[in-house]
A and B are shown apart, each in its own frame.
Chain A
């Protein structure tokens, strides 16, 4: 089945540690996105990539980094510079130029202790 996988579903880290969240898609989509969701707030765009080896900052990129070495994969690293990393993180993908047709992954809930 085609889709987007994010692993793990729940992730716990100690304060000060970097952590990398996985996002893989087998939909042959060029574009991939990372969102952060906090209680009572809408999804906010962290980074997006429209093609392999290229990515752009979203609205809240500070404290995060990404890479796009393969079309299928768009990992997000939450660095120790992110002041409030505990949140629900969603990955999405779409065909290039079709931002209106995003498919979402199941999400990873990150808790920093």
Chain B
């Protein structure tokens, strides 16, 4: 059990470019979550996967954002045509049966995105 891994740790990009982040959850966890956190704020829910199915999406997730979890293992979050307002820490979390079943969420270290 190596914990939740996120790659890259930091990403600097120019406005208008596309970026992709990767999350590798704990191996036996079939629930995977993406959150976004800006400075001084708590994380905000973006989307949730159960295995390969994306079951919930926040209204925060505009058409420029897309997330996938092929084969129910790792997940990717892509942001197209980045804007300066996308600058934030993007956090991935996983759990075995989900927060609603009174299980803890395990977070990765996050990807810090800076859009210039």
Genuine A/B complex? no
Binding site for A on B (CB under 8 A): none
Binding site for B on A (CB under 8 A): none
